[in-house]
Structure 1
Amino acid sequence: MVAKAEWRHGNRYHRFIVTTLPQGMSDPRHLYEQIYCARGDMENRIKECQMDLFSDRTSSHTIRANQLRLWFSAAAYVLLTALQRLALGQTSLETATCGTIRARLLKIATRVTLSVRRIVLSMPDMFPCQHEFALAHARLRRLRQAI
């Protein structure tokens, strides 16, 4: 059994982990930080997929359609976490959830102008995450040129 006790903001916080691993098989700190906390983090990522990327919407009549919807949610999660890892480091969105990134960077009213040679995106002047968007765009362009 592993116990962790903390005192934060005048309140007690304690956790106990009961395991079937033999004593001496695993360091208590490793057991708590690398196994127990990792399991909780995994549950948070699953909840993030369900709540922010709608992977729990499997209301179609066929299993194939539901499977496709789940694949779309999984692909969206992979793309957003890659965006976060590759382009949003050292920004206010570095540790943001997929829902926050989606709301602040992707769900923006934008005017799209098509010409013969290019596509022009006109963002609003009062867009609150302009700096993060421009920085992510520049980092992704640099990454693309390196390939």
Structure 2
Amino acid sequence: MRHDRLFGVALGQLESDHSRCAPLAGKSTLNRLEQAMHIASDLSDSRYIEMSLTPSAVEAFLVEVLIEPMEHEPKRIIPDMNVTDDPTHGEQVGSAFNGYYQHEYYTPLLIFCGCHLLSAKLRPANVNPAEGALAELQRIIAHIRDHWLAVQIMVRGDSTYSRDDIMTPPMNLRAINSGSGFPLLPMC
């Protein structure tokens, strides 16, 4: 981060004031970044400035990264649902030991479409791997349908997602067991 040109441009600090230091070295770098964000919105007179995140905006952005670059609506897209292990260190809340992986971990739900990340939800280790998958799929599909009405959406996932709550109407979602070679089924 000390030599990152993008941060340097954002902070107006491309050159170091001292010959032995990096341009962004020092305890003030993050504070400068926070201040730079608010200078444009005329909040620079505030003594305390906090960087904040809007989760729904991040969720929408991840789907937009898939949609925006495409000139034409594709015939078909295939979101792929997976759960992975995310190792933790120390005594983090929600982590649990897994004998197979031999470490403490979280189980994030990841949904990709090709190389595009559509969703990443960090979850505790003790949840069912399919927990939250239906809600994420419904959110993603609704966003995609706002832009592409005719695209065929097919979902790939292992047997974890072959559950009644995912496969039954109203969304008529069908989980695909890619591990055993079942054919992909139209989801909606």
TM-score (norm 1): 0.30
Looking at secondary structure, tell me which structure has more helix per residue: 1
